[in-house]
Structure formats: structure tokens, C-alpha cells
Amino acid sequence: MEKKNSVYIATSLDGYIADRNGGIAWLDSIQIPENEDMGYVNFTNEIDAMVMGRYTFETVLGFDVNWPYKKPVFVLSNSLNEIPESHRKKAYLVKGTVPQILEQIHNQGCTRLYIDGGVTIQSFLKEDLIDEMIITFFPILLGGGPTLFSDLPGTLQFELVESKVYFNQLVQQHFRRNRKD
């Protein structure tokens, strides 16, 4: 079975994935037609499950919408003891180091994973466990907030697979990890 860890995320020009208050209203700063998903459905069709950090999970729970995910969601947290009753058949708590977390998830038959949340993505990058990243850049400077990237123990080379411009405003870049070096 193919093992792959992928990122699909939006960022500000200055590298933040939410504003200082954890808000993502800036994602509405560009009008996106309802029938344009910017590759999201194709991307999620190719994954078995999501892996998200506790903050992202709590942010989604706070939205006044139905649960938006069709695939199982594994929530990383050392502080949560359980998933709220309302989401127990949709989301599952996992703990441990990143390799231990991956082993638990792979053992459940989920090997193509969508990794979400800044700290979470960073913890996978620290172990060189991200294989591809689809990043949509919004033309905005947020000035602060949770970051997409942080310090790493070393250099990680990626290659650009594709670059698309949406609505003359958003640049979406698809990067694949180049481990040939």
C-alpha cells in the first residue's frame, strides 16, 4: 500500500495559516465561486484519512456547520483524553511520537494521509515525513498568528510539480519532496 503524507493548506504571504486570534475570515478576502474548489475534491479523493492537530480540530468543532469530512479524522493531542461524544465515530484520538502515530494509523489501513494544522505539519516536517504540499498563497499580510513553517533540523529539498493562478489573485503551488540528495 502506498504511504504518503500530504499537505493542502492556505497561507498568507507572510506565512501564517490563521490570524492572531486563530481566525480564518481572511480566506474570504478573495471571492471564490461556489463551483470552484481549487483541486480540493480531487485531493481528498486520493486520501484515506486526515491527521489534524488539536487546535485545528477545536476550530472545526467551533464552526457552525455540519462535520465537513467524509474520511476518518485522527486528532493529535497529548492534553485531550477523549473525543467529544458527538464526534466519536468520525474522529479518533492518537498520541505518541510522529512515527508511533503513523504506525497506529497505518495499522488501521489508512496510509495516504492529509496532514493539517501548523504545529502538526511542522512536527511531521521535523521527521522528514511530508511527501507533498499543495499551498495556496493569499495576497495578504496577517502580521502574526500560527505559522505554517518553523525551524527544522536540516534542509529539505522540494520540487515544484505545478503552479496555478486562480482568479488572478491566488497562487497555488504543488511541491513534491525530492529525496534524491
Ligand X SMILES: NC(=O)c1ccc[n+]([C@@H]2O[C@H](COP(=O)([O-])OP(=O)(O)OC[C@H]3O[C@@H](n4cnc5c(N)ncnc54)[C@H](OP(=O)(O)O)[C@@H]3O)[C@@H](O)[C@H]2O)c1
> Interface residues with ligand X (CB under 6 A)?
9-10, 17-18, 22, 24, 52-56, 59, 76-80, 98, 116-120, 123, 146
* Dist. CA 29–CA 72, nearest whole Å: 30
Are 38 and 174 in contact by the 8 Å Cβ rule? The answer is no
Q: Whose Cβ is closer to ligand X: residue 146's or residue 174's?
A: 146
Minimal distance in Å, beta carbon 22 to ligand X? 4
Minimal distance in Å, beta carbon 169 to ligand X? 16
Q: Whose Cβ is closer to ligand X: residue 23's or residue 109's?
A: 23
Q: Whose Cβ is closer to ligand X: residue 24's or residue 30's?
A: 24
Minimal distance in Å, beta carbon 139 to ligand X? 14
Q: Whose Cβ is closer to ligand X: residue 26's or residue 158's?
A: 26
Cα–Cα distances in angstroms (integers) from residue 15 to residues 12, 80, 93, in the given order: 5, 28, 28
Q: Whose Cβ is closer to ligand X: residue 20's or residue 157's?
A: 20
Q: Which residue number has the CB closest to ligand X?
A: 53
Minimal distance in Å, beta carbon 16 to ligand X? 8
Minimal distance in Å, beta carbon 83 to ligand X? 12
